[in-house]
Amino acid sequence: MTKDLHAVLVRPLLTERGTHIQEKYNQYLFETSPEATKTDIKAAIEKMFKVSVENVRTMIIPGKFRRYGKGGGMRADWKKAIVSVAKGQKIDFAQSGS
């Protein structure tokens, strides 16, 4: 399945946990399209950031119930990817030209 790179990778997740695994294990967190496969995610990251991807782990995060006035509703489910980059390589989000 070939897609536009920006359709596969929605955004990087810059969280406290993400920063910790980035420094300790050289892994990065991304929010991805729910339809994207591990192969799509790997190809998009290698092309956008010019790094070698060793492993991709994905998970579906279920939407939470939120109240809106008197009623309520569900937020949408979304997909998260944890990407392992080859040793010695880094992803610089500020300099990524796509």
Quick one: which of 60, 62, 61, 42 has its CA closest to 52? Answer: 42
> CA 17, CA 28: separation in Å to the nearest integer?
10
User: What is the average pLDDT across 17-23?
Assistant: 95
User: What is the average pLDDT across 11-28?
Assistant: 95
**What per-residue confidence (pLDDT) applies to 86?**
96
User: What is the average pLDDT across 16-34?
Assistant: 95
Q: What is the mean pLDDT of the chain?
A: 92
Q: pLDDT tens-digit profile of 53-81?
A: 999 999 999 999 999 999 999 999 999 99
Q: Cβ distance 52 to 89 under 8 Å?
A: yes
Characterise 20 by phi-psi region: left (phi > 0), alpha (psi -120 to 50), beta (else).
Answer: alpha
Domains and CATH numbers, the chain: 5-85 (3.30.70.330)
Q: pLDDT tens-digit profile of 83-98?
A: 999 999 999 887 765 5
User: What is the average pLDDT across 37-51?
Assistant: 95
